[in-house]
Amino acid sequence: MVAVLTRIFGVHNLALAEDVVQDAFCHALEVWPFRGMPDNPSAWLMAAAKNRAIDVLRRERTARTFAPELGRRLDSEWTLVPTVEERFASHAIQDDLLRMMFSCCHPRLKEEAQVALMLNILCGFSVREVANAFVTGHAAIEKRIQRSREVLAGSKTLFDLGDESAIRARLPAVQRALYLLFNEGYHGASTKSAVRWELCGEAMRLAALLREHPGAASPATFALSALMSLHAARLPARVDAEGELIALFDQDRGQWDRALVAEGERLLEQSAAGPELTEYHVEAAIAWVHTTARSAEKTDWRRIVSLYDQLLVIRPSPIVALNRAIAIAQQEGPERGLDEIRGIAESDRLIHYPFYAAAQGELELRRGRIDAAREHFLSALGLARNPAERHFFERRVAACGAPSG
């Protein structure tokens, strides 16, 4: 709704748009407890927001300017209501959401700021909720969102969806932001839980929007959606009902969401159109190899290693190198895996990452070096970021038994 209203009020009136949405929610809170929830709550909210918007436009039209693109049509009483109605039509809403998504990925904003802005404006997260989503503190997030909103409001107009070359130019930033958003939910580093389903859901919803627009539905977009679906499909096995983490080799594949797996496979096929091979393609392929394996042991680890080799070329990072090392350990044994881990470039960036220590712990355990394994797991425990991680590492430490000698 904020996206639609910003389109009507103009990007410089973003705060006003949000107030109107807030008003609609407040109104719902005033009425629904007494009258019951309407059959179609979103339609009700939309209608409330629309009516309020019309009130605001009438009341404020001498004091403010609204969207320059809509210009005169908001001035005249004759055209005011139809113009607003038109923006609330469903195809227009899709467009406005997409437009807002692209607008949030403003080139002057850093990646994390773009994601925070998307969560705040598009997904309706309050500042506190956005702060919970990232590891950063509330004050820092508040400042980041504030500054990002200023940048957005200062951009005079929202992104022009009609400009195909502009879409092509900004699409990678939008894809990257959605990837980061999904990742935040999937590999959550929040202090409350290891996985934040809502963030994954939002990312998938927004990626689906991208797929609907011909200019944005590139093979990379399909690959991105595929990897999200294939990862999300396996989440129910990765985290149990209490939110506790389960190691890969202990996961019950029967818990996988088969519909999401099927969707992921479909999207992966669609992503194979054309010569483009992006990091999303490779990551989706890795997820797919996991998904098609009957069990963790029966996984085609060789294939996974070669895919990680490719990923390392496209998007070199210590985390990718770590995951590759783990795959090599599966294929060639724990000694080789540990060698690879020791050879990771920029590994100092991993020292706060608990799973870096834990991976070494696992491999030492497999080599029978129990004391070394315990040390690593204790390090991991010290770096744990939430109760689920703590419990997981505690169990690993316990699995090593008491220290010898």
Chain position carrying tokens 């969806």: 161
Q: Encoding tokens for residue 60?
A: 């404020």
**Distance between CA atoms of residues 301 and 355, nearest Å:** 19
Across the chain, how many H-helices and E-strands are there? 19, 0
Between 26 and 351, name the residue whose CB sits nearer to another protein.
26
Q: Encoding tokens for residue 404?
A: 């010898």
- Minimum CB distance to another protein, residue 67 (Å): 23
- Minimum CB distance to another protein, residue 241 (Å): 21
- Minimum CB distance to another protein, residue 170 (Å): 27
Residue 38 burial class via C-beta count within 10 angstroms: exposed 0-12, middle 13-18, buried 19 and up? middle
**Distance between CA atoms of residues 111 and 257, nearest Å:** 30
Do 233 and 193 meet the contact criterion of CB atoms below 8 Å apart?
no
Between 32 and 249, name the residue whose CB sits nearer to another protein.
32
Between 35 and 258, name the residue whose CB sits nearer to another protein.
35
- Minimum CB distance to another protein, residue 242 (Å): 21
- Minimum CB distance to another protein, residue 129 (Å): 6
Do 200 and 264 meet the contact criterion of CB atoms below 8 Å apart?
no
Between 21 and 167, name the residue whose CB sits nearer to another protein.
21
**Distance between CA atoms of residues 278 and 268, nearest Å:** 12
Between 25 and 92, name the residue whose CB sits nearer to another protein.
25
Give the side-chain half-sphere CA count within 13 A for 390. 8
- Minimum CB distance to another protein, residue 277 (Å): 38
Q: Which of 135, 183, 118 is nearest to 320 (CA)?
A: 183
Q: Encoding tokens for residue 158?
A: 């929202």
Contact residues for another protein, defined by CB under 8 A: 22, 25-26, 28-37, 124-126, 128-129
Between 125 and 392, name the residue whose CB sits nearer to another protein.
125
